[in-house]
Amino acid sequence: MYTNVWYVAGRSDTLTEEPVKVTMLGADLVLFRDADGQARCISNVCPHRGSNLAAGTLYKDGTLACPFHGWRFNGDGDCTLVPSRRDHEVQVVAPRARIDAYATVEKYGLIWVCLGDEPDAASPIFDIPEWGNDAWRFTYNEEIWDADYHTSKFTNLDYVHLPVVHGILFQGNENPIQAPEHHVTATEHGYQSVMQINAKPSEGVWSTLRDEGTKVESIMKFFVPGFTLRGQVEIGGIGSGMFNIFYEFTTPIDEYRCVMRHYFLRNYKMEADFDAEHTRRNLQNVHQDKRLAESQRPRGAPTGPNPHGIYTHDEDKIMLTYWGLMERMRNKGWQIDRDRLVELERKPYVRIIPSPVRKANPDGWTLPAMPRVPAGQATEWPVSELSFVDIDSIEPTRPKNYGECEPVKPHDPLSNATLEWEAAALERIQKAPEFVQPMIIENAEKAAKENGSNFVTVALLEELQAKQQGRR
């Protein structure tokens, strides 16, 4: 995991009058609003005796009081008051009482926190040009994945999984599983990949948006801030002006879990009634990726690419670009030292992320900061040295139709992306409050899978509803 990255810590409208505890990079942090209404983020661990600051009281002067002895801390991490000795200077009563505080900004309806001690050197938060523009309709989804953030991200950062996992075939290609040529351009802060595809339009209402056989352009961008993936498809075909865009923000809770947040955008079928179907169609892909990520092994965030891994042209090219970005951060001294951390956590230990305040005053802290791999400590296996199969320079020796044959059981739940979606089922979801909609969709998909089916039906929704009512 990496420090000095702007991570998404939450949604702006969920931070109001109460402090909110969040766990990121395995460290406990607290978000709150100061006297000016600005979002602030400090370590959640009281430097006095380790109490949970998020359980304390927020005061109108923008300080947060610890729930144990009431010491108050502001958004800069300074201790401003020790109530039992309020007529004395804090630094006299409790020298060294201060806490790590992190750069925090609100943008695009989200709270961004730079977890590290060099926010000015971190990759800057990118633009979301569609934000605040009435031409775009946004819907939002947020969920926890029981998989580390690299593995979770990789379920989206490649093209070959599109036909295999989501059933989006590259039609028009001689081999519909082979990704068409795509161009990847990378900078220090991310990369982008552009590809023109001739994919089959989706089922149902989606099939009316585009004529079969027309091409769509897919632009995929990855940004280090928020570990964000932006996907854009001109869904009505090139030149139609109808775009489907998503932003996927990924925040590591720790080495094993992450929060996935999505904005789904469209500039067609703008009526609110279409939100549920738009969310449903997007979540169908998201949940196919989720099931995949959560079952991959080993569990836990890798500290780099597997030096003995197999790296092929189509499947792994984009992933290696990603690891190249991580390598740059490691070389800057921003990667958390996993080996030393494991060692330290054999004993009671608190994870504290190094902050700018600590960098400016490195001495006299009650708790040490998490260890990081020293800058300049060469990566053991640089991405450039991983052996890569350059397939384009090798002559094919098999017939073009090699491997073409029917599966034993045609409806493989992972490769079949078609869900039966009856109008009545959709109507039910549309009637539910917006924030419950993704939950209903997820539960229905899960139940369908448990029943050995890939179809969500009205009957199934009714069954779920009956069960839920029985519980109340």
Which range, of 94-102, 148-156, 196-204, 325-333, touches Fe ion by CB under 5 A? 148-156
Smallest Cα–Cα separation from 314: which of 153, 147, 164? 164
Q: Which amino acid makes up residue 152?
A: S
Q: Which of residues 283-302 bind Fe ion (CB under 5 A)?
A: 289
> Residue 88 binds what, of Fe ion, ligand FES, none (CB under 5 to 8 Å, by partner type)?
none
> Residue 57 binds what, of Fe ion, ligand FES, none (CB under 5 to 8 Å, by partner type)?
none
Q: Which amino acid makes up residue 456?
A: V
Q: Is residue 66 within the footprint of ligand FES (CB under 6 A)?
A: yes
Q: How far is the CB of 116 from ligand FES (least distance, A)?
A: 25
Question: From residue 9, how far is each of 32, 154, 261, 434 by CA, in Å?
Answer: 12, 21, 10, 21
> Residue 338 binds what, of ligand FES, Fe ion, none (CB under 5 to 8 Å, by partner type)?
none
Q: Looking at beta carbons only, is 289 or 316 nearer to Fe ion?
A: 289
Question: From residue 279, how far is each of 123, 291, 417 by CA, in Å?
Answer: 30, 18, 15
> Residue 289 binds what, of ligand FES, Fe ion, none (CB under 5 to 8 Å, by partner type)?
Fe ion
Which range, of 67-75, 196-204, 210-218, 322-330, touches ligand FES by CB under 6 A? 67-75
> Residue 453 binds what, of Fe ion, ligand FES, none (CB under 5 to 8 Å, by partner type)?
none
Alpha carbon 98 to its chain centroid, in Å, reads 31
Smallest Cα–Cα separation from 150: which of 309, 1, 29? 1
Q: How far is the CB of 67 from ligand FES (least distance, A)?
A: 7
Distance (Å, whole) CA 194 – CA 186: 12
Distance (Å, whole) CA 389 – CA 308: 13
Q: How far is the CB of 185 from Fe ion (least distance, A)?
A: 21
Q: Is residue 267 within the footprint of ligand FES (CB under 6 A)?
A: no
> Residue 49 binds what, of ligand FES, Fe ion, none (CB under 5 to 8 Å, by partner type)?
ligand FES
- By beta-carbon distance, which residue lies closest to Fe ion? 289
Q: Is residue 248 within the footprint of Fe ion (CB under 5 A)?
A: no
Q: Is residue 49 within the footprint of ligand FES (CB under 6 A)?
A: yes
Q: How far is the CB of 63 from ligand FES (least distance, A)?
A: 12
Furthest C-alpha separation in the chain: 87
Q: Which amino acid makes up residue 53?
A: L
Question: From residue 166, how far is each of 162, 338, 428 by CA, in Å?
Answer: 5, 34, 25
Residue from 7, 71, 227, 249 touching ligand FES (CB under 6 A): that is 71
Which range, of 43-51, 192-200, 366-374, 381-389, touches ligand FES by CB under 6 A? 43-51
Which range, of 2-10, 46-54, 306-314, 375-383, touches ligand FES by CB under 6 A? 46-54
Which range, of 47-55, 215-223, 236-244, 409-417, touches ligand FES by CB under 6 A? 47-55
Q: Is residue 195 within 8 Å of residue 218, measured between CB atoms?
A: yes
Q: Is residue 112 within 8 Å of residue 128, measured between CB atoms?
A: no
Question: From residue 185, how far is each of 194, 222, 230, 318, 381 by CA, in Å?
Answer: 9, 10, 15, 10, 22
User: Which residues contact Fe ion (rule: CB under 5 A)?
Assistant: 156, 289
